[in-house]
Amino acid sequence: MSKKTVKKRAALPGATISEFDGVRYLHLGETPWVQGALRLRKPRQLELEYIRRMMAWLLLVEPDDWSELQVVQLGLGAATLTRYCHGELHLRTTTVELNAQVIVACRQWFRLPADDERLQVIEADAGAWVADGQHAASADVLQVDLYDHQAAAPVLDDEDFYRDCHRVLRPGGVLAVNLFGRNASFLRSARRIEAAFAAEGGVVVMLSPTDEGNTIVLAVKGRGLPAPDELVRRARLVEARTALAASAWVHLIRPLPASRARAAGARPVDEQPVPSA
């Protein structure tokens, strides 16, 4: 462990908890920014809209292959995606989280189960983890939600990081990234993802922003999107197997805007051609 890493870990904020109207929230330090949420009477439910949209990668993988998928989550948050992939979809799930206090809080307050044959929660730096060559081509799905207590921008967001994410995915794998905000920083981040994925025959798209300003970017390694009718078919299968409103996702998928001025008016994928597999 380098001195730089030790210093970084020593400065990490503590995990704090709040509850309101039957929902438990995770924060970092004393800030109001929400890192994740759990509805106490419905713990299996994905409470936040942007978290539900993170699961839109289900449209981009073969439904018959679900049981074989390896999912990697960068950033534990309130363990919602980790619990859902492991507990509800029964997928092999690895989560990388730098802050040990977040892991403890999730096990104590957010029903994160202990590691087992399908679940591994690793206390490590996500950037170092994806840069480690031993993890190349180890994941079918990579979910990235990396914000600190200030929530101003992703903690890891440069071109090298997204190239490392591309390397971690197997051919045909899918990256899902939560980007917060509709301003120029979103477009810069999206273009960095595009630079890592589109150069080798992949495709990068976005979902329309949530009311809170979260935009999910989906990137596919080495292939295009399924045809529109296939997306609709897969959405119906997702809805039959889960409580997710997957049909709505199909109409939220859009190409990346060519410029900031076009961001608000980008047309849905079913109105504008996007490369298909």
Domains of the chain: 42-265 (3.40.50.150)
Instruction: Give this prediction's pTM.
Output: 0.88
Decide: 257 and 191 in contact? Cβ < 8 Å: no
What gap in Å lies between CA 267 and CA 252, rounded to an integer? 9
Please work out, in degrees rounded to the nearest 5, the angle formed at the alpha carbon of residue 210 by the alpha carbons of 121 and 190: 70
What DSSP state is assigned to residue 225? B
Note the pLDDT of residue 1.
Answer: 37
Buried b (16+ CB within 10 A) or exposed e, 49-63: ebbbbbbbbbbbbee
Q: What is the pLDDT of residues 82-141, one digit of tens each?
A: 999 999 999 999 999 999 999 999 999 999 999 999 999 999 999 999 999 999 999 999
Whose tokens are 């039959």? That residue is 240
Q: What is the pLDDT of residues 127-178, one digit of tens each?
A: 999 999 999 999 999 999 987 445 456 778 999 999 999 999 999 999 999 9
What DSSP state is assigned to residue 84? I
Q: Which amino acid is at 179?
A: L
Q: What is the pLDDT of residues 249-269, one digit of tens each?
A: 999 999 998 744 344 444 454
Q: How many CB atoms lie within 10 A of CB 93?
A: 24
Buried b (16+ CB within 10 A) or exposed e, 150-169: ebebbbbbeeebbbbbbbbb
The pLDDT confidence band at residue 207, using thresholds 50, 70 and 90, is very high
Q: Does pLDDT of 212 surpass 70?
A: yes
